[in-house]
């Protein structure tokens, strides 16, 4: 097919020149006379340091005032949901962990809870496995909020807090590496439990972090909360009240910063959250400032939850007893990275031929899940992360669809930006904390 089939062409002294248009760009700019109307149409992103990845915003400006804002997503599409249909149920954990790459433990946990509900084994998940899941999720919530504080600070000119936020996050990633072997994309939470137990050295490091982090939070507040530029750039900016949040399906810290104490850990508990003591921080103002205060308060609540989880870590198995579901792994870090320990491989090989065949079939083919469909929602750092999983009775998902908070919350950006200044688009967009890996999955 020649280029002329899809692009206009003209001859010049330099040869043939083809003009390729950018989607609906002509429709957006047509009918706008920038000279007489004083309006211009600007592309912010998809390559822009303050669009949290590859978000594209088409802004129609009158001076510095935003008259119309349109969000364009899809630049980071990975096809993860489709890929899940070609892998067995356990392998799905390796895919979903890569969606919202700042909250991988939440992606894995929501998926595993959905598979366990389809299997009907929710009551068989061990107490230690549930406690480890809570421990890991709350550490992950802290690390995610630290990235938010760091990147939002950078976007509004507070470079120091960006460096400090990433410094503390590094501490959590080192803990994750001790426990799972990886800093990100762990595939640690799996249907039936978790891949392996928490080592003693990780417990020590978590205890150290619990002593360190409250002091660091105080430093962030000393840097930002009384800083006049920070307060002017956040107070009264990108306001979205509770009515707007509910109408648009906005959840998480953005909803709670508008005054509604909706948190799935309290309203629809899972993994034993109903037995933990913690508060749900709220704020009535619904602006960028309120979202900042709520997220810092949530870090403090997560620290309380991590401490409670550590105190209730009792010895016991971390995977269901059913050998037809339990993934047969005893991971170890060797010279070639992460893999099964040699002792575990020798044990499998040295058992009966039947157990070896069973192990081979479970790893290569996977277990069968009864036909049906379920929806499971959990409270991720950005809001309600829901999984709609459908099984046709086979060893692979028929369909898995995520209700991803970044995707849903981005609907609120035009409501927050229109009528405000272009500089406030950056503050408002950052306060939603979108992660495009989750949005475009």
pLDDT surpasses 90 at 322 = no
Burial 194-213 (b: 16+ CB within 10 A, else e): bbbbbeeebbebbeebeeeb
Domain ranges of the chain: 3-72, 84-325+367-439, 333-366
In the chain, the percentage of residues whose pLDDT exceeds 90 is 63
Whole-number pLDDT of residue 3: 46
CA distance 246 to 241: 9
What's residue 48's pLDDT?
74
pLDDT digits over 115-157, tens only?
999 999 999 999 999 999 999 999 999 999 999 999 999 988 8
pLDDT digits (tens, 9 = 90+) for 354-376: 777 777 777 788 889 999 999 99
Q: Which fold has domain 84-325+367-439?
A: Cytochrome-c3 Hydrogenase; chain B (1.10.645)
Ramachandran angles phi, psi of 68, nearest 5°: -150, 140
Name the phi and psi angles at 9, rounded to 5: -135, 155
pTM score, two decimals? 0.87
What pLDDT is attached to residue 26? Answer: 63
The pLDDT of residue 49 is above 90: no
Separation of alpha carbons 195 and 357, rounded Å: 21
Taking residue 360's Cβ as centre, other Cβ atoms within 10 Å add up to 12
9-38 pLDDT, tens digit each: 778 776 777 665 555 656 656 665 655 567
Task: Return mean pLDDT, the chain.
Answer: 87
- The half-sphere exposure of 274 on its side-chain side, counting CA atoms within 13 A, is 4
Q: Which two tokens stand for residue 434?
A: 């979108």
Task: Please state, as a whole number, how many other Cβ atoms lie within 10 Å of the Cβ of residue 339.
Answer: 14
């Amino acid at each position: 097919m020649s280029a002329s089939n899809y692009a206009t062409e003209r001859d010049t002294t330099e040869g043939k020149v083809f003009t390729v248009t950018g989607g609906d760009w002509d429709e957006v700019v047509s009918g706008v006379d920038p000279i007489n109307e004083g309006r211009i149409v600007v592309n912010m992103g998809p390559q822009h340091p303050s669009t949290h990845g590859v978000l594209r915003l088409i802004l129609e400006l009158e001076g510095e005032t935003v008259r119309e804002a349109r969000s364009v997503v899809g630049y980071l599409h990975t096809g993860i949901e489709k890929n899940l249909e070609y892998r067995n149920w356990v392998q799905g954990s390796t895919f979903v962990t890569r969606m919202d790459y700042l909250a991988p433990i939440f992606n894995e946990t929501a998926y595993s809870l959905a598979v366990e509900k389809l299997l009907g084994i929710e009551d068989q998940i061990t107490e230690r496995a549930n406690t480890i899941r809570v421990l890991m999720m709350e550490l992950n919530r802290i690390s995610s909020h630290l990235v938010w504080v760091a990147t939002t600070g950078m976007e509004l000119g507070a470079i120091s807090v960006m460096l400090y936020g990433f410094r503390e996050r590094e501490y959590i990633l080192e803990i994750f590496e001790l426990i799972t072997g990886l800093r990100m994309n762990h595939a640690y939470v799996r249907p039936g439990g978790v891949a392996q137990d928490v080592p003693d050295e990780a417990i020590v490091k978590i205890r150290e972090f619990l002593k360190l982090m409250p002091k660091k939070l105080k430093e962030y507040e000393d840097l930002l909360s009384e800083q006049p530029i920070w307060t002017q750039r956040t107070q009264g900016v990108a306001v979205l009240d509770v009515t707007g949040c509910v109408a648009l399906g906005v959840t998480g810290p953005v909803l709670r910063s508008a005054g509604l104490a909706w948190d799935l850990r309290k309203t629809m508990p899972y993994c034993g959250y109903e037995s933990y003591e913690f508060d749900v921080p709220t704020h009535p103002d619904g602006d960028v400032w309120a979202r900042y205060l709520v997220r810092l308060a949530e870090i403090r609540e997560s620290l309380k939850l991590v401490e409670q989880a550590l105190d209730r870590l009792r010895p016991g198995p971390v995977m269901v007893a059913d050998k037809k579901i339990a993934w047969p792994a005893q991971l170890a870090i060797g010279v070639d990275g992460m893999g099964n320990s040699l002792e575990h491989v020798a044990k499998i090989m040295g058992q009966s031929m039947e157990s070896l065949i069973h192990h081979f079939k479970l790893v290569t083919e996977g277990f069968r899940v009864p036909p049906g469909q379920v929806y499971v929602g959990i409270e991720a750092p950005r809001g309600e992360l829901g999984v709609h999983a459908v099984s046709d009775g086979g060893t692979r998902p028929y369909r898995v669809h995520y209700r991803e908070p970044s995707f849903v919350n981005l609907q609120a950006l035009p409501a927050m930006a229109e009528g405000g200044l272009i500089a406030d688009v950056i503050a408002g967009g950052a306060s939603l904390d979108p992660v495009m890996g989750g949005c475009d999955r």
